[in-house]
Structure formats: C-alpha cells, structure tokens
Amino acid sequence: MLQNKNAVIYGAGGSLGGAMAKAFATAGATVFLTGLNLSSVQKIADEILASGGKAHADQVDAMDEAAVNNHINQVIQQAGTVDISFNLIDLQVVQNMSLVDIAVADFVRPAAIAMQSYFITATAAARVMMKQGSGVILSLTATPGGIGYPFTGGFAPACGAIESLSRNLAGELGINGIRVVNIRSAGSPDSKVFADAIAARPDEIKIVLNKMKDDTMLKKLPLMADIANTAIFLASGLAGAITGVTVDVTCGTTAGLNYRTKDGGL
C-alpha cells in the first residue's frame, strides 16, 4: 500500500514509533527514522533492513527547527520526495494526579513539547510537499483529546492542541494536494510504557487496564498493530479523500464511556 513512498518518522526509537516504522516498511515504504538516541533508532532500522525492508536512521531533535530542516533536506537529496511525515515523540507526560495538585511545569510541558515539535516537523514537511503537490502529515493523540478524562494532567490539552493544529494545517494545505490527518488512540497495552508498568506493578496495572477496557464499547484496547494499520491506510491512496479529521481508534471510548454494560449484553 505504500510502495515507492518515503516516510519520515520522528520518535522512531520508542515502542510505538518503532512499531509504526516496521509496519510502514512492511507496507513498502522507505522509512527515515529519527530520534534523540541514535542507538535505539538504529536498532529499529537494522531490524527493518534484516527483514528485507528499506530504512535509514539519523539522530534528530524534533524540537530543533534547524536540525529538522537539515534532515528533511537530506532526505530530499537522497530520496527525491517526502511523502509521509509522522511525529511520535515523547511528550514527557505526568498523569494520575488531580489538576489541583499537579505542578505548573508538569502541566504545561506536554502541550509545549507538542506544539513546538509538531509545528516544526509538520511545517518542514509541508514546505517540501507543497512543491511536490502531494503528501500526508500524520499525528497521534489519545482518548483525552475527545472527552473529559480525569487525572490526565497536561496530556489532555496537549491532545486537543495537536488535533486543532492538524485541522488547521489541513485547511491551509489541502489546496496543495496535501492531506493532514490525526489518529486518536486509547492506550495500547502492548506498548513499552504499559509493559514497563506491568513489570513494576503487575496487580495495580492490571486493575487500571481492566478499567480502561471497561470504558470502551468493544471491551478491549487497541494494540499497536491497530494504530499502525490505521496509519498505513491513511497514508495510502485508499484514503485519498480523507483530510482535516481525527480518526478514532479508541475501541469506542470517545463516543461515550461504556463501563455500565456487562459481558454478554446489558
């Protein structure tokens, strides 16, 4: 579905970023992986290359405008086009505490990182894509972007800001043949953040995950593969008429909390 496409992925050294990179490569794209830690990004690239895919790894700070622009210019020189841009960097979120107790710095940090990084990476890609007359810019948020979700700290407003930026970019860039789409996920239990939490506090995290599942209509949480499959579809020509929206992959959570229904029906 992504044959002959060039995809730049920011934050590719994380578990979700790495999963997206591998999925894009499997779908035929040449992936240009970036992150703060070159060794973790190179590890993902090596795994893609070993499986027959096409990948390149570079150390790039997605908060650094000059670094992002330099890298994207290198991609153009090497590959000729940038067809897909996907920002998946860590927002350094502090959660599981009341808004009246959270520190100002911890509340503001996720939105500040999101806005600076997403603006830098998306507009860098957009300038290239405008010359091409085509391209897809993807972003990722989570359930708090769609509903009130207690104890999510600064993550919720960060999600709202990302979704707003995605819509506005789509409105400006559509005339140039560029699509901009956000994906809204619930927590993926197979991601590293949950795996680490389960290893450290298995009984506590099991309760948390079960509550999160109960909140969904499908009584399950989306896996990283579900997010990757959605991203591949949205980046492909099959989604050529989709732009300016958030595609919900939360198993129904943001359409309404469903914890009152039980297994087997009402």
Q: Which domains does the chain show, CATH number per domain?
A: 6-255 (3.40.50.720)
Contacts of 117 (CB under 8 A, 6+ apart): 10, 62, 63, 87, 89
- Model pLDDT for residues 114-129, shown as the tens digit of each residue: 999 999 999 999 999 9
Q: What kind and span of H or E run contains 181?
A: strand 178-185
Helix (H, G, I), strand (E, B) or coil at 215: coil
Cα–Cα distance measured from residue 257 to residue 177, given in angstroms and rounded to the nearest whole number:
37
Local confidence band at 260 (pLDDT 50, 70, 90 cut-offs): low
Whether the predicted pLDDT of 179 surpasses 70: yes
Angle at 110 between CA 180 and CA 244, to 5 degrees: 15
More confident: 265 or 196: 196
In this predicted structure, what is the pLDDT of residue 197? 80
Size of the chain in residues: 266
In this predicted structure, what is the pLDDT of residue 264? 52
Note whether 29 and 260 are within 8 A (CB). Answer: no
Whether the predicted pLDDT of 171 surpasses 90: yes
Q: Specify whether the backbone of 219 is left (phi greater than 0), alpha (psi in -120 to 50) or beta.
A: left
Cα–Cα distance measured from residue 52 to residue 55, given in angstroms and rounded to the nearest whole number:
10
In this predicted structure, what is the pLDDT of residue 191? 86
Whether the predicted pLDDT of 212 surpasses 90: no
Q: Specify whether the backbone of 191 is left (phi greater than 0), alpha (psi in -120 to 50) or beta.
A: beta
Contacts of 225 (CB under 8 A, 6+ apart): 19, 23
> Could you tell me the two tokens for 37?
């830690």
Local confidence band at 102 (pLDDT 50, 70, 90 cut-offs): very high
Helix (H, G, I), strand (E, B) or coil at 204: helix
Nearest Cα residue to 27 out of 54, 5, 2: 2
Average pLDDT score over the chain: 93
Q: What kind and span of H or E run contains 129?
A: helix 104-132
Q: At which residue do the structure tokens 């503001």 appear?
A: 108
Q: What are phi and psi of 224, to 5 degrees?
A: -60, -35
Whether the predicted pLDDT of 262 surpasses 70: no
